[in-house]
Amino acid sequence: MEDYIKHAKHQNLPCPSSSSPPLSACLLENQMAIISACASTSCYTPPPSGGEGRLCKYTGQSVRALPIRIITVGKKRSAGVQLLVEEYTNKLKNYCSLHDLPIRSNPRNARDERAQVDDEDKAVMNLIRSDDWVVLLDERGRDIGSEQMAELIGDAGNTGASRLSFCIGGPYGHGQQIRKRANISIRLSSMVLNHQIALLVLVEQLYRLYAFSSRNTRPKSLSPLLLEPSFDISEQKTKDN
């Protein structure tokens, strides 16, 4: 919250206080601020000790744009969240094929947490094809910045996969089948994000990458100097296993 307040003051965004109304009372305004805060604070990480700063390897290049699907497990979205998701997905359709696929949490009304996760796991796996490149959004995944997200998308286009599927888990996380199937596991923030907020951050970042890539320019929030070194997505899959 401290990072968000500092960012809000710097950018003249709405800043919460003890007298502020709850988030639900100003959903659209504050959620847009949260997205911007998450994006700007997670987009840059200094290179490791001894490493050299470098540009994203796809800077200024055209990459194969795989069709994208975002599979999200959770309860029915609030009207404000759905409005923002539709706004970004409609914009993204100018650059790539994108489908938003929500799955209701606990689809079979299981009474036990383990059974609920297993049911959600099966529902997600039913939407995954053998030639999908699967990206798991998980709190235990690797930290990723905007440059690395751009490289992940570019690298996935060179794997021979026919689709790129992002998976956002339900209230109890991902099941074992999708964890084993995933090609890479990443996290958007070191904080645990509600699945609706995670979805908003993801679609905003995807739009940012595609929009600025089409103009061959760097997103405004990215550092022009030291950028985080690339990582090999095939190597990450090996480490996860």
Is 63 within a domain?
no
Q: Is the pLDDT of residue 230 over 50?
A: no
Is 78 within a domain?
yes
Amino acid symbol at 103: I
pLDDT, tens digit, 9 for 90 and up, residues 145-161: 888 898 898 889 888 89
Spatial separation of the C-alpha atoms in residues 120 and 76, rounded to whole Å: 15
What value does the mean pLDDT take over residues 221-236? 38
Residue 145: domain span:
68-240
| Least reliable range by pLDDT among 1-5, 90-94, 163-167 | 1-5
For residues 104 and 148, state if they share a domain: yes
Q: Is the pLDDT of residue 202 over 70?
A: yes
Q: What are phi and psi of 231, to 5 degrees?
A: -130, 155
Is 154 within a domain?
yes
Is 209 within a domain?
yes
pLDDT, tens digit, 9 for 90 and up, residues 94-120: 889 999 999 999 988 888 999 999 999
For residues 138 and 34, state if they share a domain: no
| Least reliable range by pLDDT among 46-55, 124-133, 221-230 | 221-230
Is 193 within a domain?
yes
For residues 78 and 174, state if they share a domain: yes
The reported pTM is: 0.67
For residues 145 and 207, state if they share a domain: yes
Please name the helix (run of DSSP H) or strand (run of DSSP E) that holds residue 84, with its range, or none.
helix 79-92
For residues 19 and 84, state if they share a domain: no
Is 55 within a domain?
no
For residues 21 and 82, state if they share a domain: no
For residues 28 and 77, state if they share a domain: no
Spatial separation of the C-alpha atoms in residues 35 and 28, rounded to whole Å: 11
Spatial separation of the C-alpha atoms in residues 110 and 65, rounded to whole Å: 38
* Average pLDDT of the residues of the chain: 74
Is 51 within a domain?
no
- Kindly give, in sequence order, each residue whose CB lies less than 8 Å from that of residue 73, ignoring residues fewer than 6 positions away: 102, 103, 104, 105, 120, 123, 124, 168, 169, 170, 195
Percentage of the chain exceeding pLDDT 70: 62
For residues 38 and 72, state if they share a domain: no
Q: What is the pLDDT of residue 190?
A: 84
- Kindly give, in sequence order, each residue whose CB lies less than 8 Å from that of residue 162, ignoring residues fewer than 6 positions away: 66, 67, 129, 131, 132
Q: Is the pLDDT of residue 194 over 80?
A: yes
For residues 76 and 121, state if they share a domain: yes
For residues 86 and 192, state if they share a domain: yes
Q: What is the pLDDT of residue 216?
A: 53
Q: Is the pLDDT of residue 129 over 60?
A: yes
For residues 129 and 191, state if they share a domain: yes
pLDDT, tens digit, 9 for 90 and up, residues 157-191: 888 899 999 999 999 999 999 999 999 999 998 88
Q: Tell me how many domains the chain contains.
A: 2
For residues 30 and 140, state if they share a domain: no
Is 59 within a domain?
no
Spatial separation of the C-alpha atoms in residues 134 and 158, rounded to whole Å: 14
Q: Is the pLDDT of residue 30 over 80?
A: no
Q: What is the pLDDT of residue 64?
A: 60
Assign residue 113 the CATH number of its domain. Answer: 3.40.1280.10
